[in-house]
Amino acid sequence: MTFTLATALLVSCSFAFLRGWASNSPADLARTPPMGWNTWNHFGCQISEKTVVDAAKALSDSGLKDFGYECWQAPTRHSLTKEPLADPQKFPSGIKSVVEQVHALGLKFGIYSDGGTHTCGGRFGSLGYEDIDAKTYAEWGVDFLKYDNCYNEGLSGNQSISHERYGNMSRALASTGRPIHFAVCNWGEDKPWEWASEIAQSWRISGDIYDNFGDYDPRCPCEVLEGCKNFGHHCAVTRILDWAASLVDYAGPGGWNDLDMLEVGNGNMTYDEYVTHFSMWALLKSPMILGNDLTKMTDETWEIITNKLLIDTNQDELGIPVRRRWRRPVPQGGTVQLWSGPLTSRRVVVAVMNTSPISINLQIPLSDVFEEATLGFYDVYDVWKKDTSGRWGAPYPVHSNNLKVSLRKHQTKVWILVPSNNVIDQVSFS
């Protein structure tokens, strides 16, 4: 899909720059997952006009926008009109001025609010003020709204109540006539994947992520989604992936499972763990919202977040997330997992993830991926290895219709299988 704008920025206790959509029609919102940057993971509420504009410039000047990439409120609303007001100390020029600067850089602009009386950061929320807030956001030129779930006055607990509360903001946004991506952020409560596609373009499936690969945290207690009543926060990467594995059928062009923001570059995971995190978010077609300091990136962080071949799989027009084919326990702890899915032009993407604490060698028969094909029908490319020209996607050798794989602890490898001239017209996935 061709995009006229490349990325977007989200503001509130969170601002975001997002990848643009194809046109100004609401029908074109989120035909592929949004991409961008959000202030929250790295800066929290310590933001200002300078934080936001500097990040926007970093996206533009560094070339990140070519790859496709909260606490703004005043203490109270306007006393008479009840319009939302920006913090005059942090944003003396007002939000509209910041939006114009972001748009001038070829980026789209996102903002944050909450479907409650207050935001999670303690500023005013939008519950009961949906119409005036949506109208103001549209007048400011906002392109994206992340809508949280704190202080919701008990208006949750079943799907019809949550649908109505979030639907009120969805309808208010639609009435403005401005296409604004609506991102439901109710942390997976009331199973938004079953109803949010009617009113939103993306929906969170879990409690808040934190910069951790696989440690258990009692604040994110549910090991499986079925019967989960406390989606919590401080959720590790592997916990979110286990939840996402059962939800792939709910995502597709126009509406996406949101696995939460990316932690790549925030410093608490290893290179291999960040590669796994970035890879699986991309392959599951999650929104790809960076959460690091864009003005201070290591070479390793830059290398991960600019893997164009992997980004292209996330933005593939077919819009089908990878599916977990198997998950096998390792005696020392953790698992080895096989994921795969289709791409446009009859291509196939395959990922093998090692969540265990040891290195592992294994052979994976192609029959584990799909039934009626052999590797002789495909050319195989390693998404995380560069070819002789320096581009991601070096040719990968195959042996007797098997992928031979060596994985370090917490490493993920990804391949794209491209049909050769004699490939069968259709492949049937196992």
Give 202: exposed, middle or buried? Use CB within 10 Å, 0-12, 13-18, 19+: buried
Active site (annotated) includes residue 249: no
Q: Which amino acid is at 31?
A: R
Query: Does residue 312 carry a catalytic annotation?
Result: no
**For 153-268, where are the alpha helices, taking DSSP H only?**
159-175, 237-244
Query: What pLDDT sits at residue 311?
Result: 95
Q: Which single residue is written with the structure tokens 């879990």?
A: 206
CB 378, CB 319: distance < 8 Å? no
Q: Would you state the pLDDT for residue 377? A: 77
Instruction: For residue 189, give the nearest of 223, 161, 217 by alpha carbon.
Output: 161
| Given the residues 133, 148, 242, 260, the one annotated as active site | 148
- Which of 114, 208, 260, 312 is the catalytic position? 208
More confident residue, 298 or 29: 298
| Ramachandran angles phi, psi of 65, nearest 5° | -65, -25
User: How far, in whole angstroms, is CA 144 from its chain's centroid?
Assistant: 14
Q: pLDDT digits over 28-81, tens only?
A: 788 999 998 876 555 555 656 776 777 777 767 777 667 665 468 889 999 999
pLDDT, mean over the chain = 87
Nearby residues of 51 by Cβ (< 8 Å), 6 or more positions away: 15, 39, 43
Q: Please tell me whether residue 144 adopts helix, strand or coil conformation.
A: strand
Judged by DSSP in three states, 390 sits in: coil
Summarize pLDDT for 139-180 with one digit per residue, the tens.
999 999 999 999 999 999 999 999 999 999 999 999 999 999
Length of the chain: 430
% of the chain residues with pLDDT over 70: 85
- CA gap 144, 138 in Å, rounded: 10
Q: State the first-to-last Cα distance of the chain, in angstroms, to the nearest integer.
A: 28
- Position 28 scores a pLDDT of 74
Residue type, position 51, single letter: T
Q: How many whole angstroms separate alpha carbon 10 and alpha carbon 295? A: 16
User: Residues 228-275: pLDDT tens digits?
Assistant: 989 999 999 999 999 999 999 999 999 999 999 999 999 999 999 999
Contacts (Cβ under 8 Å, ≥6 apart) of 410: 213, 214, 270, 272, 273, 276, 354, 355, 356, 357
Residue 202 main-chain phi, psi, to 5 deg: -160, 160
Helix (H) and strand (E) counts for the chain? 10, 17
Euclidean distance between CA atoms 352 and 69, whole angstroms: 26
Flag whether pLDDT at 299 surpasses 80: yes
Listed in sequence order, the residues at least 6 apart from 389 whose beta carbon sits closer than 8 Å to its beta carbon are none
